[in-house]
A and B are shown apart, each in its own frame.
Chain A
Amino acid sequence: MLTRTERYQGYAGGAVVFAAIALFIALAVFALLSFDSGETDRPLFDAYVWRILRFTLWQAGLSTLLSVALALPVALALARQPHFPGRIWIIRLMAVPMGLPVLIGALGLIGIWGRTGILNSALAAIGLSEPVSIYGLSGILIAHVFFNLPLACRLLLAGLERLPPDYWRLSASLGLPALSIFRFVEWPAIKPLLAGIAGLVFMLCATSFTLVLVLGGGPAATTLEVAIYQSLRFDFDPQRAISLALLQIAVTASILALMALLPTPKDDSAVTGRAARRFDGTGFGARAWDGIIVVLAVIFLCLPLASILFAGLKADFARLLTTPAFWKAAWTSFWIAFLAGLISLTASIAIINARAAIADARKPGLAPRGFSALLASLSSLVLLVPPVVIGTGWFLLLRPYGDVASFAPLLVVMINAMTALPFVMRVLSPAFATHRQRTARQAANLGIFGFARLRLIDLPVLAAPLATAFSFAMALSLGDLGAVTLFGSEELVTLPWLVYSRLGSYRTADADGFALILALLCLGLTIAGTAGQRGRKDDG
């Protein structure tokens, strides 16, 4: 259906993007592997490295268990109470931690669970002296549950709401008690999702960087990613960074391989908040249980958010907003996010078009089909090698050519663009596929090509998903602390880095103020993106 030119353009674009990304990752990995530290007596993996690996897996396992186990009753309660007051807002609240910069979430959690936070003050007031510690393993677990319980809950809820509404009518007419409904209807719907959700949460927790950086500390509570950062930035021990990075790649590779075998969890219906009619859960006991569970979850999620808000409002905005440092950081952040978003979007479009061009050939040969599969796996490839590892590799690679700091902005842009790639692809590929299905025949039949096609047929429809993807990518990049920590310097200060460094210098009031601004920026972008996405669904 495509013209010969269109097809070759598609192939070429895909090839260029693939080569660029593969090279960017491969060079970093190659630099790591070929680094010669001059030491030969030290083993590649010593006891320290193994201990960090054990802790990484242990905290990720515990975080996953807690997040999913606690999300389960919340999802069941929300599904059973379609008329729960403010239900749609509770479901939207569940999306907030996903759009919130991790560093800002950590600040909010410290405000509640920290040494001088609400919880410990309350405990002290009633005479309990043993404070709950937000630092170390317990803090990492609380934070991971804060970020991942809502994610797991939304995915579980989506699974429950995908059940045919007839099932609830049938259960009611058969008079199934709550336990039977759980055994025969709810659990069978949830069970096949659990492995996929747990895999996703485990992956996020095992590669968690910022939370562990802020809440962990000391070798007792450090993950691989943070240890890589520490060994480069503080100890300058590239040898150790290499062993850690290799382990990190091995860990992510095994998780990704396992996840490939599991079904991908889908989050669709929960976003619309359209609930099926339920005829159970009307008794007092059931309503009280569901109510308590949901309220507890809401409190757990809302308190840190409220803490960000109130701590932030105490800051002296008049002064903060006139600080040159703030405007400089905001400007840097904006440019990095803008360029990262643009690169991510361009790369995604090229990948999608190349795959479409290959699919368009009636009988693609083995080579094109292999290339198409490679392109499809590119977003996983990006997940395989975490930002800190890529950063480490390029750090070593560029060191001989002068001050790494001068290359830093470009590297941060590239790393952020790659981190955003899987998200951008997830928004764009279904939108492009639907659009092509609807228009390709007509456009080809009418002979609309090139710029005219872009202007008349593609842009009017695809503008909305493109804007969604772009704002997601920008939000992700704006809130990211990971890539900047490696290269951050006097010259390269982004907003999250500003918050983090103020935090380090005990100017917490300033940090709280900047944190609130950053949180609002990122949430605003995410909400704008989601609104665009919902609008598209209504059209279709």
Chain B
Amino acid sequence: MTSNQPSGIRLQNVSLMLGTKQFRFDCELPAGAITAITGPSGSGKSTLLNLIAGFETPESGKVTIGSANVTALHPSQRPVSLVFQDNNLFAHLDLATNIGLGIHPSLKLSAEDGKRISGALERVGLGGYEKRKPGTLSGGERQRAAFARALVRERPVLLLDEPFAALDPGLRQSMAGLLLELHRETGNTVAIVTHDANEVRQLADHALFIDHGEITLQAEIEVFLMRRDVPGLTEFLKL
């Protein structure tokens, strides 16, 4: 499960009802690529991500990661790491502990693990921040720490739910750069929910457009950016 082999993600005829909203997803996120998940707010972007992460269970259909059917698996048993927009870190624990929990959930850490934590912090530009609490960091630094935890977890899939939405534009740019670097180093499969067309252009190899709970377009990025016949997409790309 923690192998570094990239794994593609596939949702086959997945359907789900949340309240009065109906969601139907059938899509493929290619292995080792960055896939942007876009669409108007409330369209179902986060729901798609929750289905992959295991926070929602489909009423019918199948979710596979790599060759494994994960439809019924608990979130902790899926080969994924997560970064949300906010609250990625437990505010009362220092960074080393927060990242250590990504290695061992009961925090039984060896000296070797300690070195890996420091190494990961170093890699995201937070060297020496082991004892800092999240509250003393800026928003960008907190997201860097979340990336550091994803690094030590060595899961083949990284799911990001608007990870840069709370940051100011200059910072978004540099964080997206960091994400790209880490992606190239690990070769993992990345799914990123975003409402920022620039982020899609800068990061994605592949993109999905979701509207009213259904995927209305999934394509290579070059094709995705050229299409003019999908309702809502042109408006989204202009933003």
Q: Which residues of A contact B (CB under 8 A)?
A: 164, 166-167, 169-170, 172-177, 179-180, 184-185, 188, 277, 279, 282
| Contact A184:B75 (CB < 8 A) given known A169-B82, A173-B80 | no
Nearest-Cβ distance from residue A283 to partner chain B, whole angstroms: 10
| Contact A170:B76 (CB < 8 A) given known A180-B105, A277-B55 | no
Q: Using an 8 Å CB-CB cutoff, how does the interface string of B74-87 with A read, 1 for contact, 0 for none? A: 11111011101011
Instruction: Report the separation of the CA atoms of residues A311 and B77 in the bound assembly, to the nearest whole angstrom.
Output: 54
Nearest-Cβ distance from residue B43 to partner chain A, whole angstroms: 20
Instruction: Report the separation of the CA atoms of residues A188 and B86 in the bound assembly, to the nearest whole angstrom.
Output: 19
Q: Does B102 contact A (CB under 8 A)?
A: yes
Q: Please report which residues of chain B, range 2-54, place their CB below 8 angstroms from some CB of chain A when the two chains form the complex.
A: 53-54
Q: Does B166 contact A (CB under 8 A)?
A: no
Is the pair B87, A167 in contact by a Cβ cutoff of 8 Å? yes
| Contact A170:B55 (CB < 8 A) given known A175-B77, A180-B105 | no
Nearest-Cβ distance from residue A10 to partner chain B, whole angstroms: 39
Is the pair A184, B90 in contact by a Cβ cutoff of 8 Å? yes
Which residues of A have CB within 8 Å of B101? 174, 176, 180, 184
Q: How would you classify the secondary structure of chain B's contact residues: helix, strand, loop or mixed?
A: loop
Nearest-Cβ distance from residue B19 to partner chain A, whole angstroms: 14
Which residues of B have CB within 8 Å of A282? 74
Closest 3 CB pairs of A and B: A175-B76, A166-B87, A172-B75
Q: Does B137 contact A (CB under 8 A)?
A: no
Closest to A168 in B: B55
Instruction: Report the separation of the CA atoms of residues A110 and B89 in the bound assembly, to the nearest whole angstrom.
Output: 50
| Contact A167:B90 (CB < 8 A) given known A173-B75, A279-B74, A279-B75 | yes
Is the pair B55, A188 in contact by a Cβ cutoff of 8 Å? no
Closest to B103 in A: A174
Closest to B76 in A: A175
Instruction: Report the separation of the CA atoms of residues A175 and B79 in the bound assembly, to the nearest whole angstrom.
Output: 11
Closest to B93 in A: A184
Which residues of B have CB within 8 Å of A173? 53-54, 75-76, 78, 80-82
Is the pair B90, A174 in contact by a Cβ cutoff of 8 Å? no
Which residues of A have CB within 8 Å of B78? 173
19 pairs from A and B in contact (CB 8 Å cutoff): A166-B84, A167-B87, A169-B75, A170-B87, A172-B74, A172-B75, A173-B78, A173-B82, A174-B76, A174-B105, A175-B74, A175-B105, A176-B106, A180-B107, A184-B90, A184-B93, A184-B101, A279-B74, A282-B74
Nearest-Cβ distance from residue A278 to partner chain B, whole angstroms: 11
Which residues of A have CB within 8 Å of B81? 173
Closest to B97 in A: A184
| Contact A170:B107 (CB < 8 A) given known A175-B77, A279-B55, A279-B74 | no
Q: Does B115 contact A (CB under 8 A)?
A: no
Closest to B80 in A: A173
Instruction: Report the separation of the CA atoms of residues A180 and B103 in the bound assembly, to the nearest whole angstrom.
Output: 13
Instruction: Report the separation of the CA atoms of residues A400 and B86 in the bound assembly, to the nearest whole angstrom.
Output: 69
Q: Using an 8 Å CB-CB cutoff, how does the interface string of B92-104 with A read, 1 for contact, 0 for none? A: 1100010001100
Q: How would you classify the secondary structure of chain A's contact residues: helix, strand, loop or mixed?
A: helix
Instruction: Report the separation of the CA atoms of residues A166 and B75 in the bound assembly, to the nearest whole angstrom.
Output: 13
Nearest-Cβ distance from residue A417 to partner chain B, whole angstroms: 42
Nearest-Cβ distance from residue A157 to partner chain B, whole angstroms: 19
Is the pair B86, A166 in contact by a Cβ cutoff of 8 Å? yes
Instruction: For A170, give its contact among B54, B82, B92 (CB under 8 Å).
Output: B82
Which residues of B have CB within 8 Å of A179? 106
Nearest-Cβ distance from residue A19 to partner chain B, whole angstroms: 45
Instruction: Report the separation of the CA atoms of residues A397 and B54 in the bound assembly, to the nearest whole angstrom.
Output: 72
Instruction: Report the separation of the CA atoms of residues A172 and B81 in the bound assembly, to the nearest whole angstrom.
Output: 11
Which residues of B have CB within 8 Å of A180? 101, 105-107
Q: Does B216 contact A (CB under 8 A)?
A: no
Which residues of B have CB within 8 Å of A172? 54-55, 74-76
Which residues of A have CB within 8 Å of B106? 176-177, 179-180
Is the pair A177, B75 in contact by a Cβ cutoff of 8 Å? no
Instruction: Report the separation of the CA atoms of residues A172 and B88 in the bound assembly, to the nearest whole angstrom.
Output: 13
Instruction: Report the separation of the CA atoms of residues A227 and B10 in the bound assembly, to the nearest whole angstrom.
Output: 75
Instruction: Report the separation of the CA atoms of residues A63 and B53 in the bound assembly, to the nearest whole angstrom.
Output: 45
Instruction: Report the separation of the CA atoms of residues A277 and B75 in the bound assembly, to the nearest whole angstrom.
Output: 13
Which residues of B have CB within 8 Å of A277? 55
Q: Please report which residues of chain B, range 103-132, place their CB below 8 angstroms from some CB of chain A when the two chains form the complex.
A: 105-107
Closest to A279 in B: B75
Which residues of A have CB within 8 Å of B86? 164, 166
Which residues of B have CB within 8 Å of A167? 87, 90
Which residues of A have CB within 8 Å of B90? 167, 170, 184-185, 188
Nearest-Cβ distance from residue A274 to partner chain B, whole angstroms: 14
Which residues of A have CB within 8 Å of B54? 172-173
Instruction: Report the separation of the CA atoms of residues A169 and B81 in the bound assembly, to the nearest whole angstrom.
Output: 11
Which residues of A have CB within 8 Å of B87? 164, 166-167, 170
Q: Please report which residues of chain B, range 197-215, place their CB below 8 angstroms from some CB of chain A when the two chains form the complex.
A: none
Instruction: Report the separation of the CA atoms of residues A84 and B78 in the bound assembly, to the nearest whole angstrom.
Output: 26
Which residues of A have CB within 8 Å of B107? 180, 184
Instruction: Report the separation of the CA atoms of residues A180 and B108 in the bound assembly, to the nearest whole angstrom.
Output: 11
Nearest-Cβ distance from residue A290 to partner chain B, whole angstroms: 18
Nearest-Cβ distance from residue B82 to partner chain A, whole angstroms: 5
Nearest-Cβ distance from residue A70 to partner chain B, whole angstroms: 25
Which residues of A have CB within 8 Å of B80? 173
Which residues of A have CB within 8 Å of B88? 166, 170
Closest to A191 in B: B92
Is the pair B105, A177 in contact by a Cβ cutoff of 8 Å? yes
Extra pairs beyond A172-B55, A173-B80 (14, CB < 8 Å): A166-B86, A167-B90, A169-B75, A169-B82, A172-B54, A172-B74, A173-B54, A174-B101, A175-B74, A176-B76, A176-B101, A185-B90, A279-B55, A279-B74
Which residues of B have CB within 8 Å of A170? 82, 87-88, 90
Q: Using an 8 Å CB-CB cutoff, how does the interface string of B220-238 with A read, 1 for contact, 0 for none? A: 0000000000000000000
Nearest-Cβ distance from residue A286 to partner chain B, whole angstroms: 13
